[in-house]
Amino acid sequence: MHDYRLSDLLDMSLIQRLADSNFRASGIPMSVIDAIDTSVLVRAGWTDICTHFHRANPLSRQRCMESDASMYAKLASGEAYRYRCKNGMWHFAIPIIVSRRHLGTMFLTQFLFEGEVPEREYFIGQAQEFGYDLDAYLTAMDKVPVFSVEKVEYILAYDKALVRFVSGLAEQSLSVIETKKSLEERTEELQRAHDELEMKVKVRTAALAESNEMLLAEISERKRAEEKLRELSERDPLTMIYNRRKLFELLGIEVEKAKRYQRPLSLIMLDLDHFKQINDNYGHNIGDVVLKSTTGIIESVIRKVDIFARYGGEEFIILSPETNISGALVLAEKIRAAIEQHPFPAAGRVTISAGVAELADKDSGAGFIEKADNALYIAKKNGRNRVENSMEPGGS
């Protein structure tokens, strides 16, 4: 075999189309690198963190090169090698072997595994070390795709088959080239062999494209199913608003964001007054109707950016970003008045009590809820059907 490179044996525009199709189907960035000079032959779906930062800066780019170089000796024919580069991204490398020569490497690249806690301090340190714009860099990091181990293994199995397909195409192309050199005087016969090979390539390419479309449809269906399951796991089954578990997840995010950017954040805790009497007098079915109707009333008053969740039983919580204590008190009073004025034919008059709190720098998520809960207690103690402020005398 002469010193051919992968780009000598394959139409790289065809491989680029396959890569683009593969990225659309799987969502994982990929590339094909020349094994001889490490030039990038094909890339699809590369992330901003790599194109705008890691590979744009000479020092961090050197880390990319060192990481790639360190894994080449570890590649075995047909085997994928997983490694985390010096810039913190996960990659899989699959060698493309042609006539027992390593001519190229396919990378599944620039992603994180689901369940990993992003080492933000590490990335902040990198931004400082290389002079990146910190906010833009962290925004790019937050856009890095995240996959479960199971999904990566599923995609990896498919891409191993894709590498075998590419290697097979290169082997066939090499065969054509060698045949041309040895049979230059048999032009017509060689042309027929070339035409037959081209037809085989077209047929196999068409089959692969069809397979990609099927994979895309299957992944889309799985995404829909996963999204439905995720939504059900986050929602209260009666009212279909967020449940307690999802509330605490979003609370942690909003508290961190409010403290980082010094923005106001308020929390309203609501409780239906004498709800046990409704259940005792009219039955739990009517109680459920009251809970669902109350949910609808509250949703009609709050903003789209407000986070609304069932805290438990007849208790609800509203988390209001970019809202100080004064704005939260106005919102809570609107909700209280709307429920008091709403007719509940099966249950009679229904009212709520509310406690309102604004986040302070010293507050944890749990402490934030406790402040609103203490204000709610004062509202109950002072006669119900009222709104109390945690900052008022008697609040905590």
Integer CA distances (angstroms), 17 to 31, 93, 169, 215, 269, in order: 12, 20, 15, 16, 54
Separation between Cα atoms, residue 332 and residue 33, nearest integer Å:
59
In this structure, what token pair is assigned to residue 327? Answer: 């704005």
Alpha helices in 183-301, H assignment, sequence order = 187-234, 244-261, 275-282, 284-301
What are the pLDDT digits (tens) for 149-207?
999 999 999 998 999 999 999 999 988 888 888 877 787 876 888 888 888 888 888 88
Q: Which of 76-90, 133-147, 224-238, 284-298 has the highest mean predicted lDDT (pLDDT)?
A: 284-298
In this structure, what token pair is assigned to residue 21? Answer: 């199709």
What are the pLDDT digits (tens) for 114-123?
887 667 888 8
In this structure, what token pair is assigned to residue 201? Answer: 């390539």
- Other residues' Cβ atoms within 10 Å of the Cβ of residue 274: 15
Confidence category of residue 396, pLDDT binned at 50, 70, 90: very low
- Indicate whether this model's pTM tops 0.85: no
What are the pLDDT digits (tens) for 266-282?
999 999 999 999 999 99
Largest CA distance in the chain: 105
Separation between Cα atoms, residue 39 and residue 128, nearest integer Å:
28
Separation between Cα atoms, residue 82 and residue 181, nearest integer Å:
39
Separation between Cα atoms, residue 376 and residue 270, nearest integer Å:
7
What are the pLDDT digits (tens) for 34-69?
988 888 999 998 999 999 999 999 999 998 888 877
The catalytic site residues sit at: 314
- Is residue 340 within 8 A of residue 347, CB to CB? The reply is no
Confidence category of residue 393, pLDDT binned at 50, 70, 90: very low
User: In the CATH scheme, what is the code of domain 244-389?
Assistant: 3.30.70.270
